[in-house]
Structure 1
Amino acid sequence: MSRTDVRTAVWSPPYFRMPPFSGFVRPRLIAVSAALAVVAFLTLSWNVTIGDYPIGLGEVMAALGGSGDPGTLVVVRELRLPRAAVGLLVGVAFGISGAVFQTMTRNPLAGPDMIGLTQGAGTAVTAAIVLGFDATLGLQAFGLLGCLATALLVYALAWRRGTTGYRIILVGIGVSWVCTSATDYLVAVGARFQAQAALGWLVGNLNGRDWDAAVPLAYAMAVLVPAVLGLGRLMRTLQLGDEVAVGLGTRVQLVRFALLIAGVGLVAFGTAAAGPVAFVALAAPQIAQRLARTAWPPPIASGLTGAVIVLVGDLIARTLIAEMELPVGVVTGVLGAPVLLWLLIRTNRAGSGG
């Protein structure tokens, strides 16, 4: 048992009852979530200040509040805010989806990057570009369809009188490598400009994002995030193991399928909006769990942590090299790789396989 689990077992947080709602009040989790929300808002505002037309942070704050000169309002609201909003929403979507997968599978290494979902979206988008179908439906639609199709394939292959988190991870790793190989082949046989377009999307990119990318993601999250929160109590029982969860009255397979649909939906719409931004879904829940000192990755704090990671990554990508904007996925990949290595070392020392 980890030190976090021991602290949780010894100290019980205060309990509130307000019919029809009841539950534990976790002051540290609330404080961490509030602090992350403030950091995310400040980072979003700072991102909006960057551009060819200089705008101060105070002017950005005023424009977000609806005041300021008309030129500044247009630049902030129509040209720069959409990109920052997409980064915020994508980070929240990936962070919450990572928390869902890691809790559902009881494995800190589980995430859309590891079980093939983002790779499936990448294969679909690359195929659309190489075959010339992207002008018909758009890259976002193909990314969405590829992610959903990969999720159904993983679930079907992992089914054996039900599914387990262990089988989902193993099958997902195999499917991810198949999708990666297919993507590499498509890039190799495509024309040079097609390969460049595919690679620009595959690394995860916020360049050129507008409200057309932000609005569908916002609508999807308005449905999927409440669904995840509504399943929160049942999701946590899965951490106790299937037998214990069944003993507590949890319909394990139904709950796991519902969580899979919600998590995949968040990943699919997030990937469709900005591409497969690497390691956010893997790292954000683990960082949030340690900040909040909970026994499981908290969904809201994980989403806010993901938003901070994406926005800070985009800020670095836009300012690291003068007169050049790197894709945000390059920065999150560099920052996320050490987290993956740390999780692998920690899991190996625990001897539990996750």
Structure 2
Amino acid sequence: MRGLQAEAGVLSWRTEAAVALAPGQVRVRIRAAGINRADLLQKAGNYPPPPGATDILGLECAGEVVEICGDSRWSVGDRVCALLAGGGMADEVVIDGRHLLPVPQGMGWEDAAAIPEVFSTAWLNVFELGAAQPGEKVLIHAGASGVGTAAIQLCKAFGNPCWVTLGSQEKLDICKALGAQGGVLRHEGISGLKADGPFDVVLDPVGANYASDHLDLLALDGRWVMIGLMGGRQAELDLAKVLVKRLQLTGSTLRTRSADFKAGLLARMEERLWPLFETGQLKPLVAKTYSFEQAEEAFAELARDQIVGKIVLVNGQA
């Protein structure tokens, strides 16, 4: 089995022995795998996999069930997509069967591989931890990213007006076409959003650079959910604003959550979101696809930060 790994910032394909299944696990032949910023961090040596997880890259994939062990809802030949702690950029992966979801009817491998990580991140942090209620305003940073474009669609579907921050007018126009009410370009600063607020929920992969602004942009009882630190980890805050506004700051990571937590999250997503994928109301936004053999080019493309949506690797040998 081939698997994509990284050492000292260099990607390489390695052959490993196939893993035997334990009860409840499923073997999936991988057809496509989504690339996420977490993969860039792992490639650079800054985001090691959780204890016990493979060091093969890839947090999401889509493919066919080829083997099951024990009782399972799945059968050989089922088309599935998977949320992973690692291992998606490989010929096959062994996974807890509860961490699989059916590929929505009529959807291709590339689109299916772009669903699990970004939509689970957006759903968990805006609607479960952020507790966004219909009509509440949401601020989404990095709105043109995979998570950002997923969050915009979810906000539109569930009745939450949303605004975005991002890097260019072209990206802003695309996000507005997806359903965002408006936004600002990050080099202009985010204080210009004050006229559009106050915001009830902030989805924040940035961290320090925007931290003080959030205290002014958030509404009374606002929820600030931090999912990344692209803008640094050290910030000075006026805690009086936190106190007076009764603000909630929640740090959130998904990769290190327990198997049971992920299973519950995916079950809730299947119930609430999969009907919307079936009707086309929700759709992963795939910007570009590359073959497995073009992985280095695909990672470089994501690092340039010029795309809107997701980059997906396609396994031509599956």
Q: TM-score, normalised by structure 2?
A: 0.29
Q: Relative contact order, CA 8 A, sep 6+: which one is greater?
A: 1
More strand by share: 2
Larger radius of gyration: 1
Q: TM-score, normalised by structure 1?
A: 0.26
